Amino acid sequence: MTDAVPVQSWKVTLPCTRAEAEALEGDIAAFAMMDKPPVLMTSEAEPDNENSWRLEAYFEGRPGPAAVKLLRTLVPSAGAVRPVVEQLPDEDWVTLSQQGLEPVTAGRFHVRNLPGDPEQPDYVNFLICASRAFGTGQHETTSGCLMMLDRMRRVGMRFRNVADIGTGTGLLAFAALRLWPRALATASDIDPVAVEISADNARANGVRLGAGAGQVALFTAAGADHPAIVGRAPYDLLIANILAGPLIELAPSLCALVEEGGTIVLAGLLKEQADAVLAAYRVQGMRLAERSDRGDWPTLRLRKRPRIGWKRPRRFNSAERGEAWGFGSI
């Protein structure tokens, strides 16, 4: 794996009850709009005491008063307790916080986060170790995309040219290539570390890197702003598991990369953001073909409407940069 780079890590600790801890399982919508949401962990403070648990929130950078206030709303029982806010030694806090995650099964895919976890027979197994890139399968958006890809394959959909914009760990690109092994696959992320980690994950999972059929080509890019991403278009399947803001901003450039009749799978948005995201893509000639919600996180499958005559979409113009700085995958 890529060597970790130290970051400034802070931890906020609050007491909570077991019921409050269990309510925090999964991803918290309250933090979804933050550029760098905290990683939440709960544990028993006293064995067999349901009212003696703790909540630990790991932040990249010192949390402000608003973030701490929001955190307090998650554990009402600690209303009178002063939170413990402390800076941690320089270390790779994302990796540490993800160590020990349970394997995830989504559709035909089984995603392990630790080398010691056993593979599952009759599933497509991936090993995606905890790292500084997101997309280990734990987040509802990633598992929702895996399930959507699985359903598309089960109903007989076929693709020959796939792009995964904001790839994170590379998992969704790898999954698409396992489903359609003769396809070209392009994966990109704004974070060069994520691209390095994706390359490591590809080698660990026997996924070939390269520009040919059955291989994944990796690029560092903000959105679609890379000549190779443009040059490998048009795509018949494009996946973008990022956030609602960049999804809306990138709608023109992403849709221009997709051929008529092609498919876009979108994730990383909340339920209340779905209408705004859909509106941005409908303007670009997309229609909603399927929606699947996992908790507060929908996965959208869109299809590009064929057009004729003067309404026909023009080729992607590389001068229209199509970038969304500061955003990678979930």
What integer best gives the mean pLDDT of the chain?
Answer: 83
Global pTM reads 0.68
The pLDDT of residue 182 = 96
Residue pair 54/90 in contact by the 8 Å Cβ criterion: no
166 known ligand binder: yes
The pLDDT of residue 320 = 42
The pLDDT of residue 10 = 87
Domains of the chain (ranges plus CATH)? 9-92 (3.30.70.260), 128-311 (3.40.50.150)
- By C-alpha distance, which of 131, 135, 133, 132 is closest to 143? 135
Strands, sheet with 216-220, edge to edge from the N-terminal-most edge strand? 216-220, 184-189, 161-165, 235-241, 258-267, 297-304, 286-294
pLDDT in tens, 75-101: 999 988 999 999 877 655 454 444 545
SS3 281: helix
Instruction: Say whether pLDDT at 32 is over 70.
Output: no
Q: What is the DSSP string of 100-161?
A: TPPPEEETTEEEESSTTSPP-TTSEEEE----SSS-SS-SHHHHHHHHHHHHHHHTT---SE
The pLDDT of residue 47 = 67
Tokens of 121: 């027979």
SS3 89: coil
141 known ligand binder: no
Percent of the chain at pLDDT exceeding 70: 80
pLDDT in tens, 204-251: 999 999 999 999 999 999 988 899 999 999 999 999 998 888 999 999
Among 48-52, 95-99, 216-220, 254-258, the least confident range: 95-99
The pLDDT of residue 314 = 43
The pLDDT of residue 275 = 95
Tokens of 231: 């040059």
The pLDDT of residue 28 = 63
Q: What is the DSSP string of 178-210?
A: HHSTTSEEEEEES-HHHHHHHHHHHHHTTPPBS
142 known ligand binder: yes
Instruction: Say whether pLDDT at 102 is over 80.
Output: no
SS3 289: strand
Strand residue runs (E) in the chain? 9-16, 39-44, 53-60, 84-87, 104-106, 109-112, 124-127, 161-165, 184-189, 216-220, 235-241, 258-267, 286-294, 297-304
241 known ligand binder: yes
The pLDDT of residue 29 = 65
The pLDDT of residue 309 = 42
Give the pLDDT mean for 165-181. Answer: 95
Between CA 263 and CA 261 the distance in angstroms is 7
Identify the H or E element spanning 278.
helix 274-282
